[in-house]
Amino acid sequence: MMAIFSSCSKVLNDVDDLSRYPTEGTFEDPLTATAYLNNLYARSLSGWPVNNGTYSDESKGIIGDGAITTDNGTMKYWPYAAVRSINIFLKEMSKSTIPAAQKDPMIGQAKFLRAFLYFKMVYYHGGVPIIEIPQELTDDLKVKRNSTAECFNFIIKDLDEAAKVLPAKYTDNDRGRIDQAIVKSFKGRVLLYKASPQFNPTNPYGNAYWQDAYTVNRDAKDFLDLNGYGLLEDFKKLFETKGHKENVFSVIYVNPAKTNGRGEDGIRPLSESKNATGNDEPIWAMAEAFPMKDGKKPGDPSSAYSYNLQNYWKNRDPRFDATMVWNGELYELSGIKGRRQYTMAGIAKSMDAFGFVIQGENFSRTGFYTRKGIMEELPSAQVTLNDVDWPEIRYAEVLFNYAEAANEIGKPAEALAVLKAIRHRAGIEPGIDGMYGLKVGMSREEIRTALLDEKYVEFMFEGKRFWDLRRHRLLHKLDGMHKYGLMATAVNGRTVEEITADDILKANRFELLPEHFTYKVVELITNGPKAMVMPESYYFFPIQLSNINQNPNLEQNKNWGGNFDPTLH
């Protein structure tokens, strides 16, 4: 495979044959043009971000020293093959004889997909070369990177042009296609990043981009409200039903045509799965992040609910029950009524137990599993038939984006209204003061932290946490972090060595409850590096060296051996 470069309007591509072009007539027939566009969707969008929490404080695994280098492919994003295909589509559709009423919305969808790809490149690497037409072998392919500011302008231009030709909302068989609701919501995400400390380290919260982010996100929220979107009343049903009002932008999965975007076969405990396990296992820090039912932090003296290690699961934020699975908890996988998940060695199925190492990993089970996005009714033999949609954008994210920007421009009441709405939907008690456990009179900084803390819980394993910390330049919270799990060390006072046949019989009958066990917080890493390493250089990842070697005009980022400044200053 060769990598090729171009000018400001023509850029790097990873294709085997740049002369390859779609068959003549492809873009004159609505059916074949639609098929080409559908392929662009498939190449541009992915499913659930499994194990993204490894990079943060959500799930197990340590990101150690040297995990990201200029040589390896870790945290690199360079999708110019897909960009070229989108540009082919845009070029050919611009002169297609398909009626404008049909082709214009297709052009709008393609422009969104191009903006989507460019935005990901920008928040990974900063400014990248901009391409707007398909490059040819005769072009000058060795070009420089565009500035980050130019790339943001390009992304926003594509989104604005897309919104002009798209319907307000696609429904029924067209659900999942790009519409105005998606474009407006995504533009809010883009502008939130543009305003963020990641891109503005010298003026992180006082720059003028925050006003732009507020205006666009408020307008997106208002547009969604007018078009029937909103918070789904029951958080538990978010990932159990399709096409509901909270999912603004869904990557659609349908059994048997397209399945297992969630990767359920690697997330379930192995006793009710096949081939793999160990993905998206919550760590103790993730469990502790959930507040109590009254919205107070666990152990907060002002909470109405007592808390200690031995009954940590009691009286928690209802989202804890909806997404976490712990030792002795009901988890009716494979349709097994009354099934409880055990994690204590000697009681659990051996491959599910804390401390069990399958193939010499440097870590073990965490003592927790997740039910988010899992189809519990599937038998283990059919576990890969999971067809839960991936919610790339849900209404809750738009609310958070709006609240963040509101807080930074001096509108704390609007930000607090969002926090209350999210907590109300979660089922947290409002309290006498109607604050849902939130502190009265919070400062701008305290509201900022409260929003990040709430997202940590609300979007567990939805690929937000690491990028939120990075966006706010808070990776120091992860740097040096050790990861812990929760081990059940005894059942009814008996240790692993003292377990009786009656204990095992009760486990087989699912009669052992969480309160029958004794618990201990234990560090997960058994050998090798134990601390997370998150240096300053990770605020922008490097361009992969193989790409630079093929085009010396591609300048490397600062902190990675080059002079390119990926910030907006």
370-387 per-position pLDDT tens digit: 999 999 999 999 999 999
Give the pLDDT of residue 529: 85
CA 23 – CA 33 distance, rounded (Å):
11
CA 471 – CA 193 distance, rounded (Å):
7
Given a cut of 50, is residue 7 above it in pLDDT? Answer: no
Q: What is the pTM of this model?
A: 0.94
Give the pLDDT of residue 137: 53
pLDDT interval class at 283 (50, 70, 90)? very high
Token pair in block for residue 149:
């500011």
In order of 63, 364, 418, 521, the CA distances from 359 in angstroms are 19, 10, 45, 23
Across the range 4-26, mean pLDDT stands at: 49
Given a cut of 80, is residue 539 above it in pLDDT? Answer: yes
Which one-letter DSSP state was computed for residue 203?
S
* Residue-wise pLDDT tens digits, 159-168: 999 999 999 9
* Residue-wise pLDDT tens digits, 323-335: 999 999 999 999 9
In order of 79, 98, 488, the CA distances from 397 in angstroms are 25, 36, 35
Token pair in block for residue 503:
């204990």
Give the pLDDT of residue 3: 30
Given a cut of 90, is residue 309 above it in pLDDT? Answer: yes
The burial class, CB within 10 Å (0-12 / 13-18 / 19+), for 105 is buried
Distance spanning both ends of the chain, measured CA to CA = 36
Residue ranges per domain, the chain? Answer: 264-383+481-523
* Beta bridge mates, 292: 316
Given a cut of 70, is residue 490 above it in pLDDT? Answer: yes
pLDDT interval class at 356 (50, 70, 90)? low
CA 19 – CA 174 distance, rounded (Å):
33
Across the range 317-343, mean pLDDT stands at: 97
Looking at the chain, the whole-number percentage of residues with pLDDT higher than 90 is: 88
CA 346 – CA 438 distance, rounded (Å):
42
Q: How many helices (H) and strands (E) does the chain have?
A: 15, 11
Q: Using an 8 Å Cβ cutoff, are 471 and 193 in contact? A: yes
* Residue-wise pLDDT tens digits, 459-476: 999 999 999 999 999 999
The whole-chain average pLDDT of the chain stands at: 93
CA 257 – CA 243 distance, rounded (Å):
18
pLDDT interval class at 178 (50, 70, 90)? very high
Given a cut of 90, is residue 354 above it in pLDDT? Answer: no
